[in-house]
């Protein structure tokens, strides 16, 4: 059995503890957490063989880390549920 998503209640509790209480703020925060959690679950729930074949980067590889975050930023920008009101 693989890992499951972070429960809504855990995200809500964390947000409350750190003062992220407005609806828009919380929606944006929860979207970020759910997006990152989704990527984590994709990797963590793969078989051992798939994990070995997956592209993994060491945290010390700054350029590749920036590229990974750019991909996540682009994915979030394309998701209408994560659009932030200005």
Q: What is the pLDDT of residues 21-66, one digit of tens each?
A: 899 999 999 999 999 898 888 877 777 666 666 667 777 888 888 8
Distance separating alpha carbons of residues 82 and 76, to the nearest angstrom: 6
By CB neighbour count within 10 A (0-12 exposed, 13-18 middle, 19+ buried), where does 33 fall? middle
- More confident call, 45 vs 82: 45
1 confidence band (pLDDT: 50, 70, 90)? low
pLDDT the model gives residue 16: 95
């Amino acid at each position: 059995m693989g890992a499951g998503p972070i429960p809504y209640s855990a995200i809500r509790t964390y947000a409350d503890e750190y003062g992220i209480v407005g609806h828009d703020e919380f929606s944006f925060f929860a979207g970020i957490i759910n997006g990152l959690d989704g990527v984590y679950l994709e990797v963590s729930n793969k078989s051992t063989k798939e994990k070995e074949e997956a592209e993994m980067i060491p945290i010390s590889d700054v350029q590749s880390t920036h590229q990974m975050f750019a991909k996540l930023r682009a994915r979030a920008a394309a998701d209408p549920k994560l659009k932030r009101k200005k």
